[in-house]
């Protein structure tokens, strides 16, 4: 499902909102989630799961073409852990 598919699905279930209003709401939610993660905050959505930021340490990798050692700097990456209800729904599908 793409973002436009999500907007379409939500607008189909909410007759009071226009597609533009639904798009604005979805964008606002995604922006708020992105901002929270960039500040290092944890996001928990009951029934869906938890988003958080993980720290990856610096390490030495290998260039697959040449085999030369490459220094990989530390990074912060988003991480998602599915909640029980989501896991159960996927397993039952």
Q: Can you give the pLDDT at residue 24?
A: 97
Domains in the chain: how many in total? Answer: 2
The tokens for 36 are 């929270």
Check whether 84 has a pLDDT greater than 90. yes
3 plus 26 within the same structural domain: yes
33 plus 52 within the same structural domain: no
Q: Can you give the pLDDT at residue 3?
A: 96
> What angle do the packed helices 19-38 and 3-13 form, to 10 degrees?
130
33 plus 65 within the same structural domain: no
For the full predicted model, state whether its pTM sits above 0.75.
Answer: yes
CATH of the domain at 65: 4.10.520.10
- CB atoms under 10 Å from CB of 22, counted, come to 19
Residue range of the domain that includes 65: 45-93
pLDDT band at 43 (very low <50, low <70, confident <90, very high): very high
Output the CA angle 8-37-62, nearest 5 degrees.
105
50 plus 22 within the same structural domain: no
18 plus 50 within the same structural domain: no
């Amino acid at each position: 499902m793409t973002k436009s598919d999500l907007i379409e699905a939500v607008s189909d279930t909410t007759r009071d909102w226009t597609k533009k209003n639904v798009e604005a709401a979805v964008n606002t939610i995604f922006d708020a989630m992105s901002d929270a993660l960039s500040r290092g905050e944890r996001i928990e959505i009951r029934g869906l799961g938890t988003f958080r930021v993980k720290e990856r340490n610096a390490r030495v990798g290998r260039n697959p073409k040449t085999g030369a050692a490459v220094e990989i700097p530390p990074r912060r990456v988003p991480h998602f852990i599915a909640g029980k209800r989501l896991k159960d729904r996927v397993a039952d599908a």
